[in-house]
């Protein structure tokens, strides 16, 4: 197997394994979605695969979990997070994404996800008035949406945890297996 194929296979396995976490019981909103988008953007040499592979993994897990009315907003925020990842955690020929940039992108993606998905819940809703006050009420309700837990905080902690897990695991694998290191340009 060629080095590029080995890297692609390893990255794909990491993404699929992480996406499977969505199938086991977990805290509400403590999921690897944003981490998958950031990791894909930062690590896949063919950038389109960095979006396609995590998106396919997410679609597969959603097919098993079940789809819902706000799926469009979730996938839209995923794609924006991937774009954020291209910008924030990009790597140059001699530089890997830093832990600080990964953490900052992870936090930004949590905020982005919260704003987009709660906007989608509010938009066109009969439950919330279609006013600025109604939107703010939707955001306030989104903070403690699920069983009184802090939905936003769970998402933030999940994004940071899974980003650390994915980037850290791949970094350790690269230290152990030279073939996983990207070719210098």
Q: pTM, whole model, 2 decimals? A: 0.83
**70 vs 79, residue with greater confidence:** 79
The mean per-residue pLDDT over the stretch 77-100 comes to 79
**pLDDT value of position 87:** 84
3-state SS of 137-174 is HHHHHHHCCCCCCCHHHHHHHHHHHHHHHHHHHHHHHH
**pLDDT value of position 92:** 52
Please state the domain extents for the chain. 3-180
User: Which residue(s) pair with 83 in the sheet?
Assistant: none
- Pick left, alpha or beta for residue 124 (phi over 0 → left; psi -120 to 50 → alpha; otherwise beta): left
| Residue 151, pLDDT above cutoff 50 | yes
* Third-level CATH fold of 3-180: Arp2/3 complex 21 kDa subunit ARPC3 (1.10.1760)
Residues 122, 128 contacting (CB under 8 angstroms): yes
The mean per-residue pLDDT over the stretch 138-143 comes to 84
The mean per-residue pLDDT over the stretch 59-83 comes to 88
**pLDDT value of position 93:** 47
């Amino acid at each position: 197997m060629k080095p590029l194929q080995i890297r692609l296979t390893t990255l794909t396995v990491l993404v699929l394994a992480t996406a499977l976490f969505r199938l086991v019981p977990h805290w509400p909103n403590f999921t690897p979605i944003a981490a998958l988008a950031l990791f894909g953007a930062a690590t896949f040499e063919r950038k389109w695969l960095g979006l396609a592979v995590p998106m396919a993994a997410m679609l597969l897990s959603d097919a098993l979990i079940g789809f819902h009315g706000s799926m469009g907003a979730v996938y839209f925020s995923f794609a924006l997070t991937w774009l954020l990842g291209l910008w924030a955690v990009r790597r140059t020929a001699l530089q890997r994404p830093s832990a600080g940039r990964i953490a900052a992108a992870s936090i930004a993606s949590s905020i982005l996800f919260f704003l987009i998905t709660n906007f989608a819940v509010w938009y066109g809703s009969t439950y919330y008035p279609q006013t600025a006050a109604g939107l703010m009420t939707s955001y306030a309700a989104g903070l403690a949406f699920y069983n009184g837990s802090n939905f936003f905080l769970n998402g933030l902690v999940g994004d940071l945890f899974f980003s650390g897990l994915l980037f850290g695991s791949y970094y350790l694998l690269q230290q152990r297996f030279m073939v996983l290191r990207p070719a210098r340009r």
